Amino acid sequence: MNWNNLYIAGRLQKPVKIVSMNENMALRAALDKNLRSAVTTACLMLPESFSEEDLFIEIAGLSYSGDFRMVIGEEKSKVLNIVKPNVGHFRELYESILQKDPQVVYKMHQGQLEIKAQKDSSLS
């Protein structure tokens, strides 16, 4: 339920095949929350306007951030190699989350996203 570490959460932020869910609503809710949290985190790290691919690269890279293996020994293009051939799977995984997010304008047919500007009521 919480991101104590990103090992499992990070793996489940990428397209995976769920073999059996057994109608476990608590697990389904935790998986959905993990995906929404990944979107929120990635959006905070991106500019106001970005492509779907940029978002998916940022999400896929979350679990490798701070991983010393990415500095030595690991393929530098690992995240790109995960995302590029799987953009359609990432889109399928995140499409409904992006469409429902009130902070995101998702231009699906253009593959572009924008973060809605927040009005600061304290300035009024």
> Mean pLDDT over residues 114-119, rounded?
79
Cα 104 to Cα 27, 74, 95, 100, 111: the distances in Å are 26, 33, 12, 8, 13
Q: Which of 6-10, 12-16, 56-60 has the lowest mean pLDDT?
A: 6-10
Compute the distance between CA of residue 20 and CA of residue 59 in angstroms, rounded to an integer. 24
Please give the DSSP secondary-structure letter assigned to residue 108: G
Domain ranges of the chain: 47-117
Mean pLDDT over 90-108 rounds to 95
Tens-digit pLDDT profile for residues 26-64: 888 888 999 999 999 999 999 999 999 999 999 998 877
Confidence of residue 103 (pLDDT cuts 50, 70, 90): very high
